Amino acid sequence: MFITLEGIDGSGKTTQLNLLAAWLQEQGLEAVITREPGGTPLGEKIRLLLLSPEDGPKTAVAELLLYAAARAELVQRVIKPALQAGKIVIADRFNDSTWAYQVWGRGLDPLWVKEVLSGTTDGIKPDLTLLFDLVPSVSLSRIKRGDRLEQENLDFFQRVRQGYLALAQEEPERIRLIAADRSVSAIWTEVRAEVETLFTKIC
Ligand code: Z5A
């Protein structure tokens, strides 16, 4: 079972992922938790590059290919083996991030990005994606990392959000839209309900 968490920066994904991981452990369920970019030794090095204001990519194509390289490693070395072993995998970001950020945010050619994504993911697709939706002005006010990506302007994050919302409209069964402007506990109640529904569908 593969679950991904998506949303613009500061939408609260990581907070909910930590709650989900703790809850699964309480249920006695083994889960592999990972994040993108990252999750492998190479992926974590690529992550440092991508977030660095000094050394990070200066072109959208180079940026996309770095995300793709990190994902290819993660899929082959972590996600695929874990799914084949029957484990639950939970990822903080996956393909939908690339679609929202690189196609809608950066304006890269969707057909080309689709090709790159299908080449890196080896047919792996999430069973459930939780999309945390929030206006960028609020989500960005929650974070202060000072990295390369956080320095993007509000318009960029508005386009990314629109990209996510368009994806959710296209795939409402897989992508569950979660209003992220509520309390952590109200959001967690909904997250847990979505995951329980998935369990009853799949198990
Ligand atoms: N990226 C890409 O462009 N293409 C790709 O293919 C991939 C990624 C895979 C990764 O950044 C960047 O890479 C990302 C997309 C791009 N950024 N850009 N631009 P990252 O992994 O370093 O950061 P992030 O994924 O955006 O996470 P984040 O900034 O840590 O935000 P978050 O995980 O969504 O939120 P959080 O850490 O759970 O919460 C943020 C703060 O809000 C924190 O202080 C919480 O305590 C607080 N919080 C959480 N929930 C609430 C609620 N409900 N109310 C109030 N406050 C809350």
> Does 95 sit in the ligand 1 pocket, CB within 6 Å?
no
Rg of the chain over all Cα atoms, to the nearest angstrom: 16
For the chain, the domains span: 2-202
> Does 98 sit in the ligand 1 pocket, CB within 6 Å?
yes
Q: pTM surpassing 0.85?
A: yes
The atom number, within ligand 1, closest to the CA of 184 reads: 53
Q: CATH number of the domain at 2-202, out of 2.40.50.140, 3.40.50.10330, 3.40.50.300, 3.30.420.40?
A: 3.40.50.300
> Does 93 sit in the ligand 1 pocket, CB within 6 Å?
yes
Any alpha helices (H) in the chain, and if so which ranges?
A: 13-26, 41-51, 60-74, 80-84, 95-98, 110-121, 136-141, 154-170, 184-202
Are the CB atoms for 140 and 10 separated by under 8 Å?
yes
> Does 126 sit in the ligand 1 pocket, CB within 6 Å?
no
Segment-wise mean pLDDT, segments of 10 residues, the chain, 203 residues: 97 98 95 97 97 94 98 98 97 98 98 97 97 94 76 90 98 98 98 97 84
Identify which of 46, 61, 97 to mutate to test ligand 1's pocket (most ligand atoms within 8 A of the CB). Answer: 97
